Structure 1
Amino acid sequence: MLQIRIFPYRLVIGEDLREFKREVNGIDLVPVNINKLYLWTDRGAARHAKILDTDEAWNVYEELEENLNVI
């Protein structure tokens, strides 16, 4: 079974990717012709968005920070 660790993202390749594609088969989530897939956590995606250095990216990051402990 695919295990996602608590990191900003996980690169899924090889057998893990083949297994992931089988598990999500039929919902058009993952194209069949890809050979790698990045899965981002909410926090990782927000941190990555900060690199864009736009007001919108910072707003998303700040909202995520405020709500992390609520969930």
Structure 2
Amino acid sequence: MNVFNYISEAYVELRTQTTWPEWAEVQRLTIIVAVFSIIFALATWGVDEVFSTALAGFFNWIKA
């Protein structure tokens, strides 16, 4: 019964006491997050490629 009360009270609080952002703000912030996620992914990929190339060169240098 306590779980049901908790869920019920949480639902009521979300419906009555939570201030939700405007739809335009949600869209704007979603675009910002998406852009930064893409930038971060590209930066991570770039660093991975640099280290991969450097390590491959290092091991080729050791073998030679």
Greater RCO, 1 or 2 (C-alpha within 8 Å, sep 6+) = 1
More strand by share: 1
Asked if TM exceeds 0.5, the reply is no
TM-score (structure 2 length as normaliser): 0.26
TM-score (structure 1 length as normaliser): 0.23
Structure of greater Rg: 2
